[in-house]
Structure 1
């Protein structure tokens, strides 16, 4: 996730001497005794049209060989000087300080509202990628930088990767970066750090823009990294910037934990705790969609599978042995089912497979593959039902498969 700012210059400045305008050569007015701010503003507006975006009007007035006076809307300063060049250098330094302080003030004023907007977006996020996108977007807006990137860590591959864009194709390129231990702590990198043989050569892609001068990075727990890049040579990430970046990353961590907790609860509510297969509640959700497709003409089959003699296993070897058998059968069913099939622990020693787009032959084939994989370690019986227009409901389809199962068991003399 890479974001780029437009232009963050919010302080307009005009600077002049009594003999000429430094910026454009326009002649400046004589000094007016009415008061520094009002006099300067009035005099300047008589000679030129002051742009609307000029928030601080700054003039450099030479009052003698030893000193000058710098006038601005926010203050008046005397500057000692030894010559015009030195005076101008001091004036420019004062103006730079004025701009920097104005930027600090504006950031502080905007910070509460910006943080509220960020928290609201995090609270509304329903997926982890949404959290990382919000982090990158709001960090750029709140902290200020040239670009902002959020990377998700993939420990198994030893890399960092940008989250997918909403609606993007799975094959769409996403920015990536090799992991380096330096990213595990907040820090600042210079372009020299990312050169071949430097302390963090893997960060070279972050300096792909030759104008990028430095990179600030803050970890998001073990989940990822927030990166801000800057082009201005005089840019300084100040202590308050680092405090804000850490706070943004901490809030992102909390949002990620919330999403994972919700996913965990949802998974527990839809999954059988012993086998890890879908449970009856999950089955109802899947069946609702599969049934709607079947009513529109798509094939649909259901297979109910029951273990032969399972009660005897429990009685002779105990429930733990019975649980191991159930998990074994569940693993075989999971591996033999198609990706579109849903396998359910239906109850006790019964399993059910929903085959959207499948027919009775496909369901019987699945049952036979499971029987062969189990290789006699436990016997199984299966009943199959296929959707027909005269079947009134999903429950009736499952009952047809149940009836077929018990016909098979009765014919084989199984319990």
Structure 2
């Protein structure tokens, strides 16, 4: 006797418009119901195929449904492996720690303790800020213009975006915003500016506990800090005994070409925040790394119910295998150059549109003087089967951020769509 399975009713956008909160955002930019995804492709319920240059806002560096990682997850589930464990010791967590130390930290001559906060980027930032204040006994944290660090109150306090900050509903205290690299133009020395504030007893700035920085500001507009600027910032922090926190949540795990975004600059942050693609499969996971001498936590002083996400541990451990040799890193740098060249071609082809090419590795963006061009370009790309998002405080940057594992042919197809959509829009402006 055959068993008849009732067909499920089709899900339409009406479901979300009727029942989901108005706070939803990405489904407004990409107004379709997605049903399936593989590496750098997504399909909706109507069977339309899209090339994904968004990668879960940087959470899917290894693509959708990565086969190698999926196999490890399925095996673990079928073996009744522990799924939820708070901070109890499990085999899955132990294997992740060993793999991370032996394949990520040791080859880079890095010595850090690993903390598992709650499994989100903002929780990694919150734990970093809390630890810095505990260590130094100071309250103030210096953040940077256009920085984005999360949506909880501590993280919002060090975030520059006015719209996001207003959502807090309360004053955001004990932080001071300083100008990021090139914020005042190419010639201005913003490190000297910060140094003056720290040296001058009349500046009104108390000695901070920490500075928190993104080496490449993703949500803030794909703004890149130069290696020399980062080195000067690091030296400044050492001079004044200020802890340096690098937020590598979106631009870490290979996004800029190296596993950590700051490797090329040769700096050694005191604290490093990781999340998003550290989970390997889009699973919630976050790590906060800090130098061993900074590990002054009391047991349970910072915790979270879901810090023991063992599925995240399993996926992260398998993802680290991509970094056992230099081949993967080289492929990222090659693809990143490919993306940059395409964006430069677009810029050169339409001099009547004021734009700037930004980024590093496989995080790239085209910034427009007239902000509406970025949204028009991303919307046109979506209509033509390419998923991209905008960035910047005024959504003035069209950002390209595909999976690091994207196939070369698919990357070229996506870049061709980007060029075609730019031609559709910008030739009308001539």
TM-score by length of 2: 0.21
TM-score by length of 1: 0.21
Where is the strand percentage greater, Structure 1 or Structure 2? 1
